[in-house]
């Protein structure tokens, strides 16, 4: 079972056909794709739909538009993607429930889309604020019981702690971890700490040899999962 979620965030002047070619190269090794704002901004709805179509036979077609707004605006952002084949949506947990995540989750639930909440972030600045309010953010997860959460590979102790805390309350969520490769964490390190998937972008899509990069990481993942 694949454990790589491919983050599709174009940089520079790469074209949509080249992105599609690179995704095709690694498709057999990925559990899904995570589509970010850089793709939407560069290639619009048609570009995003092309990537959704390409990935629709994978398990996870994730929209990551960094949602952190009032419910009507988040709903309006996701509305054009209902029925396209995307099946998971990332939003920030810190924005809280009433007027934001509560109504948003009701909306996406009604269309069978699954919610993934960002609990902690992978960059160093996450320790400025987010880490200090981790318990409060986890309260939001406990109340909303989303399908998944984002917890950084760069801080494996947070993956372990959050997982333990949620499991002690019988809350079983999928854990998605970014921060592998360019941001410093080693492939497999998040899985080792208890994550279900590693979100990986540049070190696969922008590798001189995406196929080799993906297959190498997949081999590390397979080995780890076999030993679990």
Closest by CA to 65, choosing from 85, 45, 83, is 45
Residue 109, Cα to own-chain centre: how many angstroms?
Answer: 18
By CB under 6 A, tell whether 201 contacts ligand XMP: yes
**Which helix (H) or strand (E) element contains residue 89?**
strand 88-92
Q: Which is nearer to ligand XMP, 2 or 170 (CB)?
A: 2
* Two structure tokens written together for 215: 């297959």
Q: Which is nearer to ligand XMP, 139 or 207 (CB)?
A: 207
Nearest residue by C-beta to ligand XMP?
A: 201
- Of the candidate spans 48-56, 116-124, 157-165, 220-228, the one that interacts with ligand XMP by CB under 6 A turns out to be 116-124
Say how far apart CA 64 and CA 114 lie, in whole Å: 12
Say how far apart CA 68 and CA 93 lie, in whole Å: 8
Longest dimension (CA), the chain: 47
Residue 66 annotated as catalytic: yes
Candidates 10, 32, 36, 146: give the one binding ligand XMP (CB under 6 A).
Answer: 36
* Two structure tokens written together for 52: 């959704």
> Which of 27, 34, 49, 66 does the annotation list as catalytic?
66
Closest by CA to 7, choosing from 17, 44, 15, 22, is 22
By CB under 6 A, tell whether 148 contacts ligand XMP: no
- Of the candidate spans 67-75, 102-110, 199-207, 211-219, the one that interacts with ligand XMP by CB under 6 A turns out to be 199-207
**Which helix (H) or strand (E) element contains residue 148?**
strand 148-150
Shortest Cβ distance from residue 129 to ligand XMP (Å)?
13
96: Cβ contacts below 8 Å, ≥ 6 apart: 140
Residues in a beta bridge with 33: 6, 61
- CA distances 125 to 8, 122, 128, 220, Å, are 23, 8, 5, 29
Candidates 182, 186, 212, 219: give the one binding ligand XMP (CB under 6 A).
Answer: 182
Using CB under 6 A, which residues numbered 7 to 26 contact ligand XMP? 7, 9
Q: Which is nearer to ligand XMP, 6 or 71 (CB)?
A: 6
Shortest Cβ distance from residue 223 to ligand XMP (Å)?
21
By CB under 6 A, tell whether 150 contacts ligand XMP: yes
By CB under 6 A, tell whether 199 contacts ligand XMP: yes
Q: What residues make contact with ligand XMP under the rule CB under 6 A?
A: 7, 9, 34, 36, 90, 118, 121-122, 150, 152, 178-183, 199-203
């Amino acid at each position: 079972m694949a454990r790589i979620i491919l983050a599709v965030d174009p940089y520079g002047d790469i074209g949509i056909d080249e992105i599609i070619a690179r995704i095709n190269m690694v498709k057999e090794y990925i559990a899904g794709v995570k589509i970010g704002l850089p793709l939407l901004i560069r290639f619009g709805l048609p570009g995003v739909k092309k990537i959704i179509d390409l990935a629709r036979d994978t398990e996870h077609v994730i929209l990551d538009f960094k949602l952190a707004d009032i419910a009507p605006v988040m709903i309006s952002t996701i509305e054009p993607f209902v029925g396209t084949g995307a099946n998971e949506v990332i939003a920030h947990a810190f924005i809280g429930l009433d007027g934001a995540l509560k109504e948003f989750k009701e909306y996406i639930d009604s269309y069978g889309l699954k919610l993934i909440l960002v609990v902690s972030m992978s960059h160093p600045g996450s320790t400025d604020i987010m880490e200090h309010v981790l318990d409060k953010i986890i309260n939001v997860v406990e109340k909303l019981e989303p399908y998944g959460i984002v917890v950084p590979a760069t801080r494996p102790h947070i993956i372990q702690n959050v997982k333990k805390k949620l499991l002690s309350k019988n809350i079983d969520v999928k854990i998605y971890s970014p921060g592998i490769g360019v941001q410093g964490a080693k492939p497999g390190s998040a899985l080792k700490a208890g994550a279900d998937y590693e979100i990986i972008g540049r070190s696969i899509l922008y590798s001189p040899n995406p196929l080799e990069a993906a297959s190498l990481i997949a081999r590390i993942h397979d080995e780890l999962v076999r030993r679990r």
